[in-house]
Amino acid sequence: MYLASDLRKGLKFEIDGEPYVIVDFEFKKPGKGQSLYKCKLKNMITGTQFERTYRSGDKFNKADLEEQEMEYLYSDKDNCCFMNSSNYEQVFMTKDQLGDALDLLKDNTVCTVLLFNGRPIGVTLPNFVNLRVVQSEPWAKGDTATGSTKPAVLETGFELQVPPFIDEGQMIKVDTRTREYSERVNE
């Protein structure tokens, strides 16, 4: 059980049987009366956000959240399959649940899957993934303008800006937090 004084940004708790995370938090102590905790909450399943103010006596249930390392296996028309490497159980998530993570996800990538009451509700990619460039304009020698980049399409279909010396067929490391090119990978 959490008390209102435990509230802070990033705290996850349960309201009406659904998990919420505090996105923004503000504490106010008026001259008279109870302290106020103004929170911006995000539903971890649907993604909807709203603001709510709590008083110092309010109590909250801890959300039954669990993180597990799982390997991405494949996707079909609507769903993506992840497998727990320790017990070989498979869970499915919709492509909507994965959102932008799907752009950088390739087969056999080990991810952290967030489970709520045993149901998968989110995925965290590793900080860096290695992906192959499948489409890129050739580099014109002598085109060495500082900071110049060119578009490249990766094997997952994701497009990003890369330095001009990156060619088709090369492996690159992509930072999944910023979704930007990090470095060339030697094979």
pLDDT in the model for residue 110: 93
pLDDT in the model for residue 118: 86
Q: What is the pLDDT of residues 32-69, one digit of tens each?
A: 888 899 999 998 888 889 999 998 888 999 988 888 99
Q: What is the pLDDT of residues 105-130, one digit of tens each?
A: 999 999 999 998 888 988 989 999 99
Same structural domain, 46 and 95: no
Question: Could you tell me the sign of the dihedral formed by the alpha carbons of 165, 168, 171, 174, in that order?
Answer: positive
Distance between CA 136 and CA 128 in Å, rounded?
21
Same structural domain, 46 and 79: no
Same structural domain, 133 and 102: no
For range 64-75, the mean pLDDT: 91
Edge-to-edge strands, sheet with 180-185: 159-162, 150-154, 128-136, 171-175, 180-185
Q: What is the extent of the structural domain holding 181?
A: 128-185
For range 92-101, the mean pLDDT: 86
Q: What separation, in Å, do the N-terminal and C-terminal C-alpha atoms of the chain show? A: 51
Q: What is the mean pLDDT of the chain?
A: 88
DSSP H helical segments within 119-183, as ranges?
none
Same structural domain, 138 and 178: yes
Same structural domain, 142 and 176: yes
Same structural domain, 101 and 138: no
Find the angle CA(161)-CA(182)-CA(179) to the nearest 5 degrees: 60
Q: Is the pLDDT of residue 143 over 80?
A: no
Of 16, 37, 62, at which residue does a domain stop? 62
Domain CATH code at residue 29: 2.30.30.30
Domain CATH code at residue 115: 2.40.50.140
Cα 147 off chain centre by: 28
Same structural domain, 87 and 110: yes
Q: Total structural domains in the chain?
A: 3
Is 99:110 a contact under the CB 8 Å cutoff? no
Is 12:66 a contact under the CB 8 Å cutoff? no
CA torsion angle 82 87 88 90 (round to 10): -40
Q: What is the pLDDT of residues 82-91, one digit of tens each?
A: 999 889 999 9
Residue 152: count of CB within 10 angstroms of its CB: 23
